[in-house]
Every structure is written in structure tokens, then in C-alpha cells.
Amino acid sequence: MTEPSGWEILASLSTFGQFLIACWVGWYGYRKYLSDEHIEPSEDRIEIFSTAKQTTELRISENGLECIIHDIREGRGGLQWTLAKADATPIEITAVASSSKAGRIRIGPRKGWLYSYKLWPEKEKLIERLENLVRQMD
């Protein structure tokens, strides 16, 4: 068996480098795809918070107003709480979160829930939309 030449080693390293770049581009593209995926708004549901890993959806069901977290990480997310119409007020912005990308909202007894500034740059519109959602509940 002969020793590989410098050119063969360089070619192998080049191929390996191309492989790493392809992996990074695939990973970055997948993350971008996930971060751009949002819940379609409708009369009975809205998305209030979104990151590359997680979204928070509020929707009306036969049980009341439900808060559901969708998370790409295993074992996280799911139904967080359900409120009856009588319990879903007041709705108010309570504080700015520790990030420049999110604020906090209170819905009835549920305090400190994050909302994304990129989804809701005007907090009054978020409050108005949530109040309309609660009015639609049976």
C-alpha cells in the first residue's frame, strides 16, 4: 500500500469540506423553513407568538378558549390551558418581555404569556383581535 500524495489528501479534504457546507446549507434552510411557517389566521384562531422552534396559538373549541403551543422539540408543547368565556377577561398587555422581540399579555387569570412584536407590532390590534375571539365563544 502506498502513501497518499498531497494532492489526494487535498482532494479528500475538499470533498469533506463540500459535504460540511452542504450539511450547513440544508440545516440553515430547514430552520428558515420552520421559522417562516405560521398558523393561518381564521375567525376562530390566531397565532400570538412565534420563534424558529415554537409558536403559540389561541383558538376557540367546544371547551372554550384554548392555548396551544406547537414546538419542534420532542416532548414539548401541546394544550397549555382552556378558559371559559367568563374567565377570558380582562385582556391586557402587562409588560415588555426580557427580549426586544416579545411582550407579555394577560388573558383572564393567565398572566405573562409572550406575544411576538413581529406578528403584532401594534398591541392595540392584538387586544382587539383577542376580544373579538372571546366574543365569538358560545
Task: Give the model's pLDDT for residue 16.
Answer: 81
Q: How many domains does one find in the chain?
A: 2
Three-state SS for 52? coil
Sole residue written with cell 392555548: 67
Structure confidence by residue, pLDDT tens digits, 20-70: 787 777 766 665 555 545 556 577 899 999 998 999 999 999 999 999 999
Phi, psi angles (nearest 5°) of residue 131: -65, -40
Task: Give the model's pLDDT for residue 75.
Answer: 87
Q: Whole-model pTM?
A: 0.69
Task: Give the model's pLDDT for residue 9.
Answer: 81
Helix ranges, the chain (H): 6-36, 123-135
Separation in Å, CA 44 to CA 38, 66, 81, 103: 15, 11, 16, 23
78 and 28, same structural domain? Answer: no
Pairing of strands 91-96, 78-83: unpaired
Residue 91 is part of which domain span? 40-135
45 and 29, same structural domain? Answer: no
